[in-house]
Amino acid sequence: MTKNHGKSIKDDEKYEALRDKGMSKEKAARIANTPDASKKGGKASPLDERTKEDLLQEAKKIGITGRHKMNKSELIRAIRNH
């Protein structure tokens, strides 16, 4: 039986599975709270093929600070490691 993590986590089962795989609390919560995360699978273009503007928008969405000072490869690294 999964724990109830309160209102902040929308899918407790998915959250616990992600934490068991070693994801950080923040990343697991972000994924568990995305309503259609499992439905999106593979539809996003690879980060290397996106424009810098697209990467900046993605970095903003996930809360990466200092993103405007980063070049494209730094943005990709920050997004992957967030």
pTM exceeds cut of 0.75? no
Number of H helices, E strands in the chain: 5, 0
Q: How far apart are the first and last CA of the chain?
A: 29
Beta-carbon contacts of residue 59 (< 8 Å; ≥ 6 apart): 67, 70, 75, 78, 79
Binned at pLDDT 50, 70 and 90, residue 2 comes out as low
Average model confidence (pLDDT) across the chain: 82
State the pLDDT at residue 53.
95
Spatial distance between the Cα atoms of 8 and 33, rounded to a whole number of angstroms = 8
Binned at pLDDT 50, 70 and 90, residue 45 comes out as confident
